[in-house]
Amino acid sequence: MEGKAWSTRVDVDRADSTRRKELLVAARAVFERLGYGATTVNDITREAGVSRATFYVYFASKQEVFAVLAEEVRDAFVAAQAIADIPEEDVEQVFRTTIGAYLDVVLEHLALITLLDHQSLADPELHALWSGIQARAVDRMARYLSRVEDAGVVALDLAARPESVALMSGGQTESFAALVKDGTLSRDDAVEEMLALVMRAIGLR
């Protein structure tokens, strides 16, 4: 029992340690600079200024450290769903807040998300994680649209199913984030343009 408790404590210490966080920061920088395929454990340890032995105290492989970074993106999207207390019937403000929160997450993680899009095609576990992140966001928005439609707040066109509108809303975020990154649009203008598209799709503009 004592041995098990010690092992658990070591696992917790490793998960919370400053060194582990430094390795994650270094790994992200290298992945974004070199891409997933070209990155090696040596590249990560060189970036972090630690030995390979230190790396393996915290991670079993570059695949594992990349998966942890993917989970951090997942957690950021989950946090973005926790919008402020806005009346559900205030559809425009609900969408403006949600779109802005999701855009902010994508802007912060755009390079890593691009890698996730690519790498998930070849890695079944990453694909399950990444598709789960996307499906959760779509499902949440579709359920919200169904509720406000049932309440008579919006009247969707027969061709505009809640799921279709949710997919459209989520799918445009990366494209608009790229425009913000390259200076074509401001963050706030991007939010308003995406909002306008969604509001038209649900018949409110």
Q: Where are the domains positioned within the chain?
A: 2-59, 64-201
Is 2-59's fold the same as 64-201's? no
Per-residue model confidence as pLDDT tens for the chain (205 residues) = 445 443 433 454 455 589 999 999 999 999 999 999 999 999 999 999 999 999 999 999 999 999 999 999 989 988 887 776 788 889 899 989 999 999 999 999 999 999 999 988 988 888 888 888 888 888 888 888 888 888 888 777 655 688 888 888 888 999 999 999 999 999 999 999 999 988 888 877 6
User: What residues contact residue 44 under an 8 Å CB cut-off, 6+ apart?
Assistant: 23, 26, 27, 30, 55, 62, 65
C-alpha to C-alpha distance for 154 and 89, rounded to whole angstroms: 9
Domain 64-201 has CATH 1.10.357.10: yes
C-alpha to C-alpha distance for 152 and 159, rounded to whole angstroms: 17
C-alpha to C-alpha distance for 23 and 19, rounded to whole angstroms: 6
Neighbours of 163 (CB within 10 A): 15
Domain 2-59 has CATH 2.60.120.330: no
